[in-house]
Amino acid sequence: MINELGSRERVLSILAVLALGFSALLLRSGYLQVVRHGYYSRLSQQNRLRRLMIPAPRGLVYDCNGVLIAQSRPGFDLVLVTVNDWQPSVSKAAGLLGLDSLLLKSSVVSQRKIFPKDPVVLVKDLSPEQVAKVEENIQHLPALRLEVESLRKTEHGSLASHLVGYTSSLGQAEYAKYRDQGYSYGDYIGKGGLELKYEDYLRGENGWDFIEVDAKGRDLGTVSEAERIEPEPGSNLYLSIDWRLQSLAESLFTNGMIGAAVAIEPQTGRVLALVSRPNFDPNLFAAGIRADDWNRLVNDPSYPLWDRAIRSAYPPGSTFKLVTAAAALEDSLITETSKMNVPCRGSLMIGNRVFKCWARGGHGSLDLHGAIVNSCDVYFYQLGMLLKIKGLSQWAQRLGFNSQTGIDLPQENSGLIPDDLFYQKRLGRNAKTVGHSANMSIGQGEVLATPLQLASYYAALANGGVWCQPHLLLKAEDFTGKILTGEVISKKKLPLSDATISVLKQALYGAVNEPGHTGGAARIQGVEVCGKTGTAQNPHGKDHSWFAGFSPLNNSAIAVAVLVENAGHGSEVAAPMAGKMMQRYLEIKGLLAQPAAASEAAP
């Protein structure tokens, strides 16, 4: 009897446990199906669907007349989209495209360590022939698919390459920096020039498509268009550059010339042309530059990736004499008719050193006007000694040197204007600097300026002493036509009197047009050209050739600065190049009759 009761209790206990377990299962099932239904439905949907990015094209870049400079083009990539069973497809694709199978597999493994579930781009920017081969064999490549991406394309090859810049994809280190700004790994981003400066405008908003996949991650087809999120193209930029002038300026650098040219509209600061030579082809970077192309660029002794117009600073030579003259006039050390105590006999003894003039026979006794027209070094040596380092340095900085112009391009050089502290640190507190002030007065020694700084200063002289900040952007417009930002013109009056400006402009006119001139090669028939040549000594080789000037004399339409490295006299090389630039732009503006052949040609 006791045994029967014990057995019954055990059975009842087991049944109770089973009932409790079954009840718990029912409750849990109800919780999952009712309370947590939405959450697990989303997880299921996410496992069923793969989100596929639709890259947004970058904005277009135009010159001031609507000439297209840069746009986007489609590129086809071969992409690994599955996580499992991918090796046969990769091996097959490598054979089709003639690629190293082990190298492709290694790249997959490397990326999957960082992004375990993300698609892996195996080959970027396939050629039409490669695309055809993949399409013909796509049924044998279940782990792969062709995807379209948006790649940058400059319409004119290497022309204006430093101005436009280039784009490149985000690497691992860069992705960590930019992912919080909405970038994905492998996205393209501006790396130089306007592409970098205006990245926030040019960059579009990527769209998304949704692809249905099976348990192994293989595509089953595209979900309905209702699921698709369309991309938004980037904003278009309209620049102050006039492509007709830019093209002409580029063409003037022949036979491997190295240097830069800048043209500015004096009344606004609009940059009309900006050239740096040698240049490079931004299209090489569009889908990721090949190793051999990269090595060729970085190992080229002429540094084609370096923007000489805004990043290189050179001794400005005699173009700097207009800074020295302005300083001496404003400090009332001289007048326009003042002559120096020592006439030019081809050299001047300062301490125990002979400072030579470019004219071996000398210029004799000159006033300021004659000294600028003839570019007399001996006259300016004496002005430099009157001003001293302090006066020269202070005035040069007041006139815009030793600081960036603020142009809307990255990595602008500030140049160098040495002061007393500079020489004390270098030479000692009690060092004599009279010789340095003489050298500085003619733009030699430690004085350094960029071509952009020289063009900007001469533009201010042309504009009656009103300096306008150089800029490139006229407006940014989104894909609907809405203007996001317009042109910003920033002006300031240089601390120069009208009388000083008049003296300097008349002297610059004489330097091109009067007897004894050094800038006659920049002369243009039928228009008043003003300017100054420079032949800057270079410790690393032949002299640099300079010309800076503007035209016409009154109501100037254009100011230019041309620098050619190791080319010798400014009067022989840079001056005629600058003259051709000014002539072309005056023709464009209708201020100078065009030759019949040129007027008939398309711009």
The DSSP annotation for 258-291 comes to -EEEEEE-TTT-BEEEEEEES---GGGGTT---H
Greater pLDDT, 139 or 327 = 327
Strand partners, 68: 62
What whole-number distance in Å separates Cα of residue 243 and Cα of residue 163?
A: 12
Asked whether the bond before 278 is cis by omega within 30 degrees of 0, the reply is yes
pLDDT at residue 366, as a whole number: 97
pLDDT of 351 over the 80 cut: yes
Residue 341 pLDDT greater than 60, yes or no: yes
pLDDT at 597: 47
Residue pair 231/205 in contact (Cβ under 8 Å)? The answer is yes
The angle, 0 to 180 degrees and rounded to 10, between the axes of the packed helices 420-427 and 377-398 is: 110
Distances (CA, A) of 224 to 15, 221, 227, 397: 52, 9, 6, 64
- Per-residue pLDDT band for 208 (boundaries 50, 70, 90) equals confident
d(C-alpha 98, C-alpha 572), whole Å: 54
Predicted pLDDT at 4: 56
Overall average pLDDT of the 481-503 stretch: 97
**What CATH number has the domain spanning 50-128+145-239?**
3.90.1310.10
HSE toward the beta carbon, residue 82, CA cutoff 13 A: 21
Average pLDDT value for the chain: 89
User: Tokens 């790396």 — which residue?
Assistant: 191
Rounded CA gap, 283 and 36, in Å? 52
**Domain parsing of the chain, residue ranges:** 50-128+145-239, 243-600
What per-residue string of b and e applies to 75-89 under the rule 16 or more CB within 10 Å gives b? bbbbbbbbeeebeeb
> What pLDDT shows up at residue 45?
47
What is the model's pLDDT at position 60? 97
Q: What is the mean pLDDT of residues 467-477?
A: 98
Q: What is the dihedral of CA 286, 291, 297, 299, to 10 degrees?
A: 160
Identify the weakest region by mean pLDDT among 116-125, 414-423, 439-448, 570-579.
116-125
User: In this model, does residue 72 exceed pLDDT 80?
Assistant: yes
What is the structure's pLDDT at 49? Answer: 66
Residues contacting 231, CB < 8 A, separation 6+: 54, 55, 56, 57, 204, 205, 206, 207
Contact 368, 503 (CB under 8 A): yes
Q: How far apart are CA 41 and CA 236, in angstroms?
A: 42
pLDDT band, residue 40 (cuts 50/70/90): very low
pLDDT band at residue 601 using 50, 70 and 90 as cut-offs? very low
Residues ≥6 apart with Cβ < 8 Å to 546? 314, 316, 317, 318, 319, 454, 533, 534, 535, 536, 561, 562, 563, 570, 574
As a whole number of Å, the CA-based R_g of the chain is 34
Q: Name the more confident of 376 and 595.
A: 376
Q: How far apart are CA 86 and CA 101, in angstroms?
A: 12
Most confident of 2-6, 32-36, 591-595: 591-595
Catalogue the E-assigned strands of 155-270.
167-169, 188-190, 207-213, 219-222, 236-239, 259-264
The pLDDT, as a whole number, for residue 23 is: 59
Element (H, E) at 573: none
pLDDT of residue 599: 38
Whether omega before 552 lies within 30 degrees of 0, making that bond cis, reads yes
* Mean pLDDT computed over 200-222: 74
Q: What is the pLDDT of residue 3?
A: 56
Q: Which of 32-36, 174-178, 191-195, 596-600 has the lowest mean pLDDT?
A: 596-600
Q: Which of 159, 148, 153, 184 is nearest to 169 (CA)?
A: 184
Q: Please list, residue by residue across 110-147, b when 16 or more beta carbons sit within 10 angstroms of its beta carbon and e when fewer do.
A: ebeeeeeeebbbbbbbbeeebeebbeeeeeebbbbbeb
Mean pLDDT of 333-338: 96
Is the pLDDT at 47 greater than 60? The verdict is no
Residue 187 has a pLDDT of 85
Instruction: Over range 247-263, report the average pLDDT.
Output: 97
Residues ≥6 apart with Cβ < 8 Å to 240: 64, 265, 268, 270, 271, 272, 471, 472, 473, 474, 487
The closest alpha carbon to 53, from 209, 287, 232, 186, belongs to: 209
pLDDT > 70: what percent of the chain? 88
Q: Which alpha helices (H) appear in 222-376, and where do they start and end?
A: 243-251, 291-298, 321-330, 368-374
Please check the confidence at residue 600 and state whether its pLDDT lies above 50: no
Can you tell me the mean pLDDT for 380-384?
A: 97
The Cα-based distances of 286 to 71, 149, 190 in angstroms read 11, 11, 10
Which range, 167-171, 184-188, 534-538, has the best average confidence (pLDDT)?
534-538
| 243-600 is a CATH 1.10.520.20 domain | no
